[in-house]
Amino acid sequence: MGVVLGGLIILAFVVIISNIKIVPQAYAYVIERLGAYKGTWSVGFHFKVPFIDKISRRVNLKEQVVDFEPQAVITKDNVTMHIDTVVYFQITDPKLYTYGVERPMMAIENLTATTLRNIIGDLELDETLTSRDTVNTKMRAILDEATDPWGIKINRVELKNIIPPREIQDAMEKQMKAERERREAILRAEGEKKSAVLVAEGEKESAILRAEAEREAAIRQAEGEAEAILKVQKARAEGIRMINEANPGKAYLTIQSLEALEKVADGKATKLIIPSEIQGIAGLAASIKEMVTPEEK
């Protein structure tokens, strides 16, 4: 009898221990009693009534990410492409998540596919490729509203990959190549233009500097010549002044006139007109020369 009692005590102890539950952080347990919803356990220590209460679902309350397979969609201009999406969601109500929909992930995937087809069907190919943010925003709003009765909040939706048909990809690559070549040609032309401008500016500056140098040289030469002429004139004036101060006689002036005539003739003149006063002196000089010459002979 004692053994049976001891066994019952041990069994009761094991049952009690097994029905003590500790809910970890960022989790919630949905509890059912006799098949009906009893409550939701949050973080902490809890005791489940043996054989009556049951943990229906352990719910992860952290933000979760699910990556769906690419979906075939058709654009407004009848181009078929494949788009795969990434959905970031969080469970906000464990009860609704448990009883709101069967297989929530499959429901979200199907809802995402249909929403994506509806949105892309209103866009052309070029708009689809350049309007990712718009598509993401629309999808998030639609999915968040649709999943609210399921206790799920859609935080963000991203178009991970947009895969157009092979021929469209080839055409886009050719277009991108042509655009790159056009930009390269423009950059090369701009470079050649800048180079030509720099060369022209260099030649212009060189010509200006050369002209300034020539002008400066001409100015210095003219200043030198003017200074030389000025010195000559000053010397002549000084000579005349000294002659005037010496009060030269008429004979000296006549001799100076003869020397001047000699320089004027320079052996090239064929006819000279000599003033009468100079002729008289010249005759006198010739007579003196004839008188002196026989004696020397």
**Are the C-beta atoms of residues 43 and 51 closer than 8 Å to each other?**
no
For the chain, give the number of residues.
297
CA–CA distance, 49 with 15 (Å, rounded to integer): 10
**Are the C-beta atoms of residues 163 and 71 closer than 8 Å to each other?**
no
- pLDDT tens for each residue of 67-88: 988 888 888 888 888 898 999 9
294 — pLDDT class (breaks 50, 70, 90): very low
Domains (range + CATH), the chain: 15-60 (no CATH), 64-164 (3.30.479.30), 249-296 (no CATH)
Beta-carbon contacts of residue 25 (< 8 Å; ≥ 6 apart): 43
CA–CA distance, 116 with 135 (Å, rounded to integer): 8
Mapping DSSP onto H, E and C, the string for the chain reads CHHHHHHHHHHHHHHHHHCEEEECCCEEEEEEECCEEEEEECCEEEECCCCCEEEEEEEECCCEEEECCCEEEECCCCCEEEEEEEEEEEECCHHHHHHCCCCHHHHHHHHHHHHHHHHHCCCCHHHHHHCHHHHHHHHHHHHHHHHHHHCEEEEEEEEEEEECCHHHHHHHHHHHHHHHHHHHHHHHHHHHHHHHHHHHHHHHHHHHHHHHHHHHHHHHHHHHHHHHHHHHHHHHHHHHHHHHHHCCCHHHHHHHHHHHHHHHHCCCCCCCCCCHHHHHHHHHHHHHHHHHHHHHC
Higher pLDDT, 31 or 180: 31
> What average pLDDT is seen over the chain?
81
CA–CA distance, 1 with 13 (Å, rounded to integer): 18
Position 108 scores a pLDDT of 92
pLDDT at 93 exceeding the cut of 50:
yes
Higher pLDDT, 277 or 148: 148
CA–CA distance, 246 with 290 (Å, rounded to integer): 32
pLDDT at 140 exceeding the cut of 90:
yes
9 — pLDDT class (breaks 50, 70, 90): confident
- pLDDT tens for each residue of 15-53: 888 888 889 999 999 999 988 999 999 998 888 888 888
Position 217 scores a pLDDT of 87
Strands 27-33 and 20-23: unpaired
Span 232-260, mean pLDDT?
68
Position 250 scores a pLDDT of 61
Would the pTM count as exceeding 0.75?
no
Round the CA-based radius of gyration of the chain to a whole number and report it.
61
213: which 2 tokens? Answer: 């140098």
CA separation (Å) from 71 to 78, 116, 150, 165, 236?
15, 9, 24, 13, 113
CA–CA distance, 219 with 212 (Å, rounded to integer): 10
CA–CA distance, 34 with 174 (Å, rounded to integer): 68
Helix 132-147 vs helix 104-120: angle between axes, to the nearest 10 degrees?
140
CA–CA distance, 216 with 221 (Å, rounded to integer): 9
Position 285 scores a pLDDT of 47
